[in-house]
Amino acid sequence: MPKLGGLEKVKSDLRKVEKMKIVACGTARHAGLVGQYLFEELSGIATEVDYASEFRYRKSVWDDRSAVLAISQSGETADTLAAIREANEKGVITLGITNTVGSTLSRETTAGVYNHIGPEISVASSKAFTSQLVILVLMAVNFGRMRQLSLIEGRNILQEVHNIPVKIQKILQQNDHIRDIANRYKDYTNFGFLGRKYNYPIAIEGALKLKEISYIHSEGYPSGELKHGSIALIDPEFPSMFIAPNDSVYDKNISNMEEIASRKGKIIAVATEGNEEISRVADDVIYIPDTLECLTPLLTAIPMQLFAYHVASLKGLDIDQPRNLAKSVTVE
């Protein structure tokens, strides 16, 4: 079982939790969405994720088996803090994941985990996101081992977590390839990002990364939603980034890709190494090494970040300080 020192003091309370509400904003909320899949699959805890800015105005329903988890790199995001304050008032256990030691979030939650990744300077969150995902995996295994997850399953996941840095290195070695792709797509004015299950949150994160630093209109959505509206947008001028690793929803993703290709929409696919058949439907492919399904977001997030970085850089934009944005949003 992974030991998370910051959660030790509430360990016995955490055993009783049956409902988790994750509150966060922006990229941190996208990490929370991956957390939802992890907590429900590995820990058996019913989990909801909310925009902190909405949560504070909803009438939430609590009971003594509920807990709230706030995720915030800065630990100072006004909406996230307001959500935590409301939960504290209701007497619910509040947990935090933050990178900032001594931040308001760390002081106002009952317990939590620090990212300890050093300061994140760029407005666009990148290393914080990766680290939030790792912590959520560790929490899910931790909570799972208190409930339904076997020792072998838990160990298997943790062993694979150790392999992730080497696998990320392999993706980073494709930097030139990703820059070439970015160069070919940088002049499009709209972009779709699609993924399913664990990689739906990575699709919306990829869209956020691209829009915030390149100012290209980007929409992320779950690939199963394609037919419910967004497919109307597909034409040769509307490319899609499609996240389709070898996982339990791969076949579904392929059929969605075929729907896009048949409408002459260009596709960049993020796929698992060795998958040659994907070139049948995709115009360009970025490969990631194979890993466990629940850990794929740790790998698929990297091409999203690199692609957005290169598009913005090739357009001569300020990557660290994009227009209209602040690193820490301390007002509502």
124 binds ligand M6R (CB under 6 A): yes
Candidate segments 148-156, 191-199, 233-241, 322-330, binder of ligand M6R by CB under 6 A: 322-330
Question: For ligand M6R, which is the closer residue by CB, 74 or 291?
Answer: 74
Residue 213-252 contact track with ligand M6R, rule CB under 6 A, x = bound: ----------------------------------------
Question: For ligand M6R, which is the closer residue by CB, 246 or 328?
Answer: 328
Least CB distance to ligand M6R at residue 295 (A): 21
H/E stretch holding 86 reads helix 78-89
Between CA 275 and CA 16 the distance in angstroms is 43
Least CB distance to ligand M6R at residue 68 (A): 15
With beta carbons less than 8 A apart as the criterion, state whether 182 and 317 touch: no
Could you tell me the end-to-end alpha-carbon distance of the chain, in angstroms, rounded to an integer?
39
**Phi, psi angles (nearest 5°) of residue 243:** -95, 110
State the Cα angle at 253 between 305 and 306, rounded to 5°: 10
Between CA 257 and CA 267 the distance in angstroms is 8
* Residue 36 one-letter amino acid: Q
Least CB distance to ligand M6R at residue 225 (A): 22
Between CA 39 and CA 48 the distance in angstroms is 10
Least CB distance to ligand M6R at residue 118 (A): 15
Residue 57-76 contact track with ligand M6R, rule CB under 6 A, x = bound: ---------------xxx--
**Among residues 26, 154, 201, 303, the one that binds ligand M6R under rule CB under 6 A:** 26
Question: What 3-state class would DSSP assign to 77?
Answer: coil
With beta carbons less than 8 A apart as the criterion, state whether 71 and 29 touch: yes
Q: Token pair of 267, please?
A: 């596709």
H/E stretch holding 286 reads strand 284-288
- Which of 269, 266, 279, 193 is closest to 236 using CA atoms? 266
27 binds ligand M6R (CB under 6 A): yes
130 binds ligand M6R (CB under 6 A): no
104 binds ligand M6R (CB under 6 A): no
42 binds ligand M6R (CB under 6 A): no
Question: What 3-state class would DSSP assign to 88?
Answer: helix
92 binds ligand M6R (CB under 6 A): no
Least CB distance to ligand M6R at residue 128 (A): 6
131 binds ligand M6R (CB under 6 A): no
Least CB distance to ligand M6R at residue 308 (A): 10
Q: Token pair of 56, please?
A: 């504070």
β-bridge pairing 111-114 and 93-98 = parallel
Q: Which sign, positive or negative, has the C-alpha torsion 53, 113, 125, 320?
A: positive
**Among residues 36, 53, 77, 131, the one that binds ligand M6R under rule CB under 6 A:** 77
Candidate segments 21-29, 175-183, 219-227, 277-285, binder of ligand M6R by CB under 6 A: 21-29
- CA 31 to chain centroid, in Å, comes to 4
Question: For ligand M6R, which is the closer residue by CB, 78 or 146?
Answer: 78
**Among residues 10, 14, 28, 141, the one that binds ligand M6R under rule CB under 6 A:** 28
Count of residues engaged in binding ligand M6R, rule: CB under 6 A: 17
Locus of tokens 């390149």: 214
- Which residues contribute to the site for ligand M6R (CB under 6 A)? 25-28, 72-74, 77, 80, 123-125, 208, 212, 325, 328-329
